[in-house]
A and B are shown apart, each in its own frame.
Chain A
Amino acid sequence: MKSLRSFMLFGSVLLAWELAARSGWWNPLLFPSLAKIADEFIRFVAGADGLHETWVSLYRALGGFALAAVVGVVIGILMGRSALAAALLDPAFSGTYAVPKLALFPIFIFVFGIGSLSKVALVFLECLYPIVIITCQGARNVSPVLIWSAQNMGASRVRIFGRVVVPATVPYIFAGLRVALPVAMIVVIITEMISSADGLGYRVIYALASLQTDRMLAVVLAIALLGYVLDRALVALRGRLVYWEKLDTFYV
Chain B
Amino acid sequence: MTIARVGLLIAVLAIWQIFWIRGLPDYALGPVEILRHFIAALGTRELYGHIVASLLRALPGFAIGSALGIALGLAAGTARWFDQMLSPAVFTTYPVPKIVMLPLFMLWFGIGDVSKILIIALACFYPTFINAYYGAKGTPRILVWSGLNMGAGKWRIFGRVVVPSALPLVFAGLRVSLALSFIVMFATEMINARSGLGFLIQEAENSLRFDLMYVSLLTIATLGYAGDQLLQLCRRRALAWQETGA
Task: State the majority secondary structure of interface residues on A.
Answer: helix
Distance in Å from the Cβ of B65 to the closest Cβ of chain A?
A: 15
Q: Are A251 and B131 in contact (CB under 8 A)?
A: yes
Q: Are A107 and B191 in contact (CB under 8 A)?
A: no
Q: B12: nearest residue on chain A (CB-CB)?
A: A92
Tell yes or no: B201 within 8 A of A by CB.
Answer: yes
Distance in Å from the Cβ of B10 to the closest Cβ of chain A?
A: 13
Tell yes or no: B237 within 8 A of A by CB.
Answer: no
How far is B93's CA from A152's CA once the two chains are assembled, in angstroms?
Answer: 48
Residues on B with C-beta less than 8 A from A208 are 103, 106-107
Q: Are B5 and A88 in contact (CB under 8 A)?
A: yes
Task: State the majority secondary structure of interface residues on B.
Answer: helix
Distance in Å from the Cβ of A148 to the closest Cβ of chain B?
A: 23
With an 8 Å Cβ cutoff, the count of chain B residues facing the other chain is: 60
Q: Are A8 and B134 in contact (CB under 8 A)?
A: no
Q: How large is the interface on A (under 10, 10 to 19, 20 to 34, 35 or more residues)?
A: 35 or more
Q: Are A102 and B101 in contact (CB under 8 A)?
A: no
Residues on B with C-beta less than 8 A from A111 are 27-28
Tell yes or no: A216 within 8 A of B by CB.
Answer: yes
Most chain B CB within 10 A, of A91, A98, A204, is at A98
Residues on B with C-beta less than 8 A from A193 are 99, 102, 187, 191
| Interface, chain B (partner A; CB < 8 A) | 1, 4-5, 8-9, 25, 27-28, 81, 84-89, 92-104, 106-108, 130-131, 134, 169, 172, 175, 178-179, 182-183, 186-187, 190-191, 197-198, 201-202, 204-205, 213, 216-217, 220-221, 224-225, 227-228
Known contacts A189-B97, A220-B103; 20 further A-B pairs (Cβ under 8 A): A6-B87, A6-B88, A30-B108, A87-B1, A98-B175, A98-B179, A100-B182, A100-B224, A110-B25, A185-B97, A194-B191, A204-B100, A205-B103, A208-B103, A216-B104, A220-B104, A230-B95, A231-B95, A251-B134, A251-B169
